[in-house]
Amino acid sequence: MTSRIPLIFGAGSLGLPGLRGNGARIHTVEQAQQLVDCYMSHGYNTIDTARLYGGGTSEEFLGQMDLGTCSVDTKVYPGQHGDFSGKGIRESLKKSQEALGKHNIRTFYLHSPDRTIPIEETLRAVNQLYAEGHFEQFGLSNYNAWEVAEIVGITTRNNWVMPVVYQGCYNATERTTEVELLPCLRHFGIRFYAYSPLAGGLLAGRLLSEEAMTTNTGGRWDPKVSHFAPYLRATYAPMIPVVRELKEGLDKYGLRLPEAAQRWLQHHSALQPGDAVLIGAASVEHLEKNIGDCKAGPLSEEVVELMERAWQQAKPFAPHYAW
């Protein structure tokens, strides 16, 4: 049995240790293979990575692994102004292909906007690479709804490859995508893949104080090994009281916080079959638990109301969905 909404394995945790790995937690190919084997054993077959993940070493790990029948999605990231020029897009894709080795790219994403380059130039380059057969489909991530509409208009007018999937942040305490982005995607027939189902780990229930956040070492919350740690702390610290109260409420129903969060996404969110949820893990045991939570059934009406109250309390602190 698989989950109602398909699961994609997020390979952002794979990579070398230290700042080069940018918060990677799985530091050997052997460990990574165990996680992917576990994921595939449940009948799933898509792996998501990016040139940014692990400072490029996530793709390198995958290139050394047996991925079975899994397809691989990756992304180009504008680390510097001008990276989304025609030349920059091509160079990034080439690096991804070299790192991934024998594994072909299914979806090629623009990871976030590069507003220093005219979008027409970027889209022209993407279309040329698509025409050359370097990937199967085109995706967007972290763009505003109006930018998605603009991109669809440009690609339609020029008969270029259109985006067919959008990857964005969406979970029980971050639902800003529901207002304008999801209606936009539905209008254009673009699938939505939700990343950060546990709010960067906040909904895992282990970081329910600012002290716990600041003393958490070795992962994405640690500024010594992750460039994103300051952003995560600034974003999620104001939500701690809300999530702590939610956990206390769920305890009364015998539910774990991450279980409720995953089941909410599967059965009570705005996701539809055809969409997907990205999941990751630091261990096989952790991954098994995550997948099991996703396969579980709907929540009770009382618990759904509890989740809704938490969102209303978190809404003032929830970041905008686009970068």
Which amino acids are annotated catalytic?
53
Cα separation, 282 vs 258, whole angstroms = 15
DSSP label of 26? B
Question: Which amino acid is residue 234, in one-letter code?
Answer: A
Q: How far is CA 114 from the centre of its chain?
A: 19
Rounded to the nearest 10 degrees, how much is the dihedral formed by the CA atoms of 274, 280, 283, 285? -40
Spatial CB neighbours of 69, under 8 Å, sequence gap ≥ 6: 40, 45
d(CA 201, CA 199): 5
Query: What is the separation, in whole angstroms, between the first and last Cα of the chain?
Result: 36
Residue 157 CB: number of other CB atoms within 10 A?
A: 9
Quick check: helix, strand or coil at residue 157? helix
> b/e string for 190-227 if b means 16 or more Cβ within 10 A?
bbbbbbbbbbbbbbbbebbeeeebeebeebbbbeebbe
**Burial of residue 280 (number of CB atoms within 10 Å: 0-12, 13-18, 19+):** buried
282 CB burial (10 A radius; 0-12, 13-18, 19+): middle
- Structure tokens that stand for 34 in this block: 């165990």
